Structure formats: C-alpha cells, structure tokens
Amino acid sequence: MEHATAEEVRAVGLRAKEAAAVLRTLTRAQKDAALLAIADALHVNAERIVAENERDITAARNAGTDPAIIDRLTLTTERLDAIAHAVRNVAALPDPVGDVVRGYSLPNGLKVRQIKVPLGVVGMIYEARPNVTVDAAALCLKSGNAALLRGSASAAHSNQVLIDTMRNALATTDVPEDAICRVPGLSHDSVEHLMRARGIVDVLIPRGGAGLIRSVVENSVVPVIETGVGNCHVYLHSDAPTDRAVAIVVNAKTQRVSVCNAAETLLVHKDAADRLLPPVFEALKAKGVTVHCDDAAHRLAKDAGINVMAVTDHDWAEEYYSLDLAVGVVDDLEAAIGHIARWSSGHTEAIVTDSLHVADRFCEAVDSAAVMVNASTRFTDGEELGFGAEIGISTQKLHARGPMALPELTTTKFLIEGEGHVRA
C-alpha cells in the first residue's frame, strides 16, 4: 500500500493553497469555463475511466466486499454521463462569491458590507464513491476553493484517473491545475497527516461510514464539517393513504439501498397497522426486503410471507446499506416522534399523512437536517433539491446543515469603507 510522509502531504497542501489564492480572484466566467472543460473531458475519457474503475471493482469483488459498497464504487458510462451533467449544472448555478450578506451605513458615515468569500483549501476524506471526486472538485472550484482529495484505497484507480482527467482539463483554462489535488498515500498515515495540516487546510469534510466520520471528528486539529450517517425513518400516520404509503416506503427503502438517504426504519400508527402493513410488506417482499419487526408488526409480516426477523436495539440504530428494514408499530404521533428522537442520526425523516396539523407537529418536533411530508427520504440530495451537486449531507448544526453545496463552501468577510475615519 502506498505510504506518504507528513512532508509530502503538506507539500501538496501548499500547492493547493497557492492555487486557492488564484481561485479567489477569478471571475465566474473563468470558473464556469473550467467546469465545462471538465464535463467535456469526462465524456471524452469515459472509456478509460470505466476501464480503471473496473480494476477497483474486480479487486473489491475478490476481497469479498459487500455488494452495497461495490454499487457505490461502480462507474458506468451512464453514471459518468450523470456526473458530467451535474458538473454542467454547477456551472449554470449562481456564483455565491461576492454576494452581500448584509450592508448598511453607520451613523458616523462608515459603510459596512459583509460578503461571501471562499473558505480556501477544502480537504475531502471519503470512502468508495468515486463520484464524490468529481462532485467535490466541481463545487469547490465554483465556490473559489481548492480541493484536496483523499479517497479510499478501494477506489484508488478510479480516483486517480478522474483527478488526472480534471487536472488535464484545467490546463487548458485560467484555473490552475492545483485547484484539484490528490492527497498522496493510501495508508491511514496520509489521513492523519491531512488532519494535522492546520494552517494549510482550512476545513476537512469526511464523507463515508460512521467509523471514518467519528475518527476525523475526534482526531482532526483542522476544523471539520461533519457529514452524518443516515438512519432515516418513515412514519405512516393513522390517516395515511394506502397507495401513497406503499409507494413512499418502497421508494425510500429500495430505490437505491447503498445511500445515506435510504430509509432504515418504518414506523406505523397502531390504528393503521392492519390496513397499511400488509400491502407494504407485499410490495417490499417483491423487492427482496427483509424486515426486522417488533411484536405488533411480526404477525402481519409472517402473514404476508416476507422474510422476517425479530427487531433489536441494534436494528433500530443501524444504517443497513442493504435490503433490510426495521419496522415498528407505535401508539401515536408523539410515540413516533419519541422513537425518532432516540434512534435517528439526524439525517432525514418522513411522514405520510393527510392532516396538515399532524404534518406541522411532526415538522416542528423532529430535529433532523431534513423532514419530508408525503415524500420519499431519497429527496435529501443536493442535485434533487436544485443545488447541481452536493459535497455531503451535514447532520451537525454549526455553519452547514443538510445537503451542502455552493453557499456552504463559503465563509464571509467584512468590507468597511470610510473617508479618513478614526476612532475617538
């Protein structure tokens, strides 16, 4: 496994810092031209990228890697087209840099403006998903930041060819190639060196499993924006329409199981359990889902012939990344809210109801980054919400929360204009 010294990691970080100094002065047109060049390069080099990705997939299969992780790792020409499309969407978005957060004049005549500016050097530490390599680079570039990328060893070939492709594209533009840099090394040492690069790296964003995120949050001396795991819930209230309930549960659980906004727990009001759970279980059975049920749901699951197991506290807390779903019957709305408060990771929760009052209470009481009313949890996604792409979904409460895109990759500074003012 490739190792890197602290000096090697810091050297790359310094190159990124120099590029960031140039980036913050570029116009939107210059940045957008670079993004369009990257999108074109992804199309032109698609065959080579897919071939390098296949090397990672083969190694993962040989290592017995979980199929959900392999799905995250996989790049196809269709997925590359979608990634390139997302880059073009980012180019079309408004540039947040220079936006005035507030502006006013003081009684003494001083004119004050607070404007958005780039963070500087953004370090990304992430697992498996090579699409993050492009999404992070594109969002950082558009917001005037340099991207310092540390992907996992499992995607080493994919990440390398993607970074090479993007850097080669930048060479034809006004954006310095070092606006996108790969952190050297594939061992954990390089991650530790990156977490200690305070003064070079302005912020770290970990994106991956709970272990990775916890390690970065607990050990980094560089400021961290915490992206969270997704133990997401769907609650079916007593008045939930059957067809709508089935459609939302099936989509939230099975549309793509290897993502953080997939549902992991289903809660059903006791007054609707006999009506709603049989058709829900039938639909989940057709998708190959295993349900982990409490006592009240267990009988209905067995009657439906779906693969059923007894639920445990581990299940309530689990982010499965698989065709598994914890299912419980609750006494009422407040019991559902209480269950979510205990077990949720603070990512996304959904309610299905025809009552505006019930929906309002759920939205008010549930303390998660995103709350859906009569919609699948799968919509907690930067592109789905019109951001073009996302760099991660934050479950913390400082600076950024929920899907993070361009505005969350900026900070602010004050510009104060006087006419020879001195303080008395």
Per-residue pLDDT at 85 exceeds 70? yes
Long-range contacts: 379-387, Cβ < 8 Å, 24+? 379/261, 380/232, 380/261, 380/347, 380/348, 381/261, 383/86, 383/89, 387/93
User: Quick check: 271 and 330 in contact, CB under 8 A?
Assistant: no
Relative to beta strand 348-352, strand 232-236 is parallel
pLDDT score recorded for residue 182? 97
Ordered structural domains, the chain, with CATH: 6-228+396-417 (3.40.605.10), 232-379 (3.40.309.10)
Cα separations (Å) of 400 from 155, 253, 369, 394, 396? Answer: 27, 26, 10, 6, 7
* Closest to 44 (Cα-Cα) out of 187, 166, 149, 126: 166
What's the full length of the chain, in residues? 424
CA nearest neighbour of 269 among 261, 281, 277: 277
Q: How far apart are CA 291 and CA 304, in angstroms?
A: 11
**Whole-number Å distance between alpha carbons of 200 and 218:** 19
Amino acid in the structure at residue 35: L
Q: Is the pLDDT of residue 70 over 70?
A: yes
Residue 413 Cα to chain centre, angstroms = 27
Asked whether 102 and 184 are in contact (CB, 8 A), the reply is no
Report how far Cα 382 is from the mean position of its chain's Cα atoms: 8
- How would you classify the pairing of strands 290-293 and 203-207? unpaired
The confidence band for 201, taking pLDDT boundaries of 50, 70 and 90, is: very high
Mean pLDDT value across residues 257-283: 96
Mean pLDDT of 259-278: 97
φ/ψ (deg, to 5) at 81? -60, -45
- Tell me the chain's radius of gyration from C-alpha atoms: 23
Could you give the percent of the chain with pLDDT greater than 70? 100
Residue 127 to residue 231: CA distance in whole angstroms: 18
pLDDT of 410 over the 70 cut: yes
146, 122 in Cβ contact below 8 A? yes
CA-wise closest residue to 263 among 274, 250, 275: 250
pLDDT value at position 239? 98
Q: Which residues make Cβ contacts (< 8 Å) with residue 353, sequence separation at least 6?
A: 237, 239, 240, 359, 362, 373, 374
Query: Over 80: is that where the pLDDT of 136 sits?
Result: yes
The 10s digit of each residue's pLDDT in 334-353 is 999 999 999 999 999 999 99
What mean pLDDT do residues 131-141 have?
Answer: 95
CA 280/CA 73 separation, integer angstroms:
30
Interhelix angle for 156-170 vs 46-62, to 10°? 160
pTM equals 0.86
Q: What Cα–Cα distance (Å) separates residue 252 from each residue in 72, 246, 263, 349, 381?
A: 17, 10, 5, 10, 13
**Residue 226 reports pLDDT greater than 90:** no
Question: Which residue carries 């279980």 as its tokens?
Answer: 281
The pLDDT confidence band at residue 327, using thresholds 50, 70 and 90, is: very high
Round to whole Å and give the CA distance between 390 and 292.
Answer: 32
Convert 262-309 into a string of H (helix), E (strand) and C (coil).
Answer: CEEEEEEECCCHHHHHHHHHHHHHHCCCEEEECHHHHHHHHHHCCCEE
The H or E element spanning position 42 is helix 28-44
Torsions phi, psi of 190, nearest 5? -70, -30
Q: Tell whether the model's pLDDT for residue 191 goes beyond 70.
A: yes
Provide the CA 358 distance to its chain's centre, in angstroms.
29
pLDDT average, residue stretch 294-317? 95
Determine the pLDDT at residue 399.
83
Query: 40: which 2 tokens?
Result: 């074109």
